[in-house]
Structure 1
Amino acid sequence: MENENKESKSNGMELLENVIKSNTENTEQNIKLQSAIEDHTILLNDVQMSLQDMHSIYDDAVSFSKLEEAKRTEFLASIPTQIETVLSKETKDDLESFGKDIRWRKKFIWSGIGVFVIAVLVLIVSINFATNWYKESIKAKSELRQDILNEIADEGRKIYDENEIKILRENTKVMQLWIKNNPKKAEDFQRFKDGFDANKNKN
């Protein structure tokens, strides 16, 4: 009987150690997840700063483009439409330089848009990965807990509330003390208990 109790306690301690180990691993996983989320938050802040910088550059490019367009319109308006004109080499060079500058700014704007799209895709993938990882972590924790409960049930044991066990122990001590102090009445109680156990075994 003592060996069985020791073995039961040993198995209980082993299960308790497994639960503690599982909780420790889950805590470590949650810390890793929190660290990953903080890394993603930093990445998002960096992306936001980059987008703000690109927005500022884009505004400057638009302003420059509007200014150049206004100057070009003003320049073209100043040219008589009925008179054949020959542009000087300097004017041609200015126009070619203006065209190159516009093309360069368009490429820069499109590059900024591409970076923004890539950043959004990275954000979506990161959030999806973190969400799936967290769900799998919770699922693994629940499955481990259920496996432990199933193992306890398969061994014919149950999990009781610690307070209930404490109350039962206190009641047992009180009953033993009462039996010790009332030996005559204790015999009646013992006969009642034997009859109760016999009926219980029959059922």
Structure 2
Amino acid sequence: MEEQNNNQNASSPRLNPVELLEQLKITTSALEKQISQLNSESASMQELSMEVSDIFDRKVQELKKNVSGIEVGISPEDLKKLESYKDYFKHYKPVLYTSLFVMLSGWGLGIFGAYSGIKWYKESVRTKQEIRSEVLQEIGKDGNVIVSKEQWENYQFQNEVLKEWNKTNPEDSKSLIDYGNGYKAKQKK
């Protein structure tokens, strides 16, 4: 196994330890330079952040001083104007209350009217239906039926034709009357 490692090392170019040491020194010095640059940049960033923090603190203190000095108040002239408006609205208070009362009364009457109208309509429809059913029951009790006008006219016409035929052909009509009575008896069974 050692022979194979020696063969592989012999076939590959040999590394010079001196050159390798020189490359390590160069790389180390480059890294040290970059670290020192980063440290100096970090220090300058800290200084900058401290300056910004100081400026911000000063501006906040300045703003607090400016805001604390502001006073809010109502001048005597403004108070007089407010008092005059108070008297002005005293005159219109009854008008305002009256208009509100009229408006609310109108709404109340509108709602009451709508409710009453709906209730009356439902009752009238129900009453009409009850009356119709009672009339139909009374007609049915007497054995009568309701037919269309066209059917009624057709029945009258047929009845008149049969009466005329009965007058002109009394003997032939007798057999028709017998047939009709037999048909009626058959229907009753």
TM range (shorter): 0.3 to 0.5
TM-score normalised according to structure 1 size: 0.44
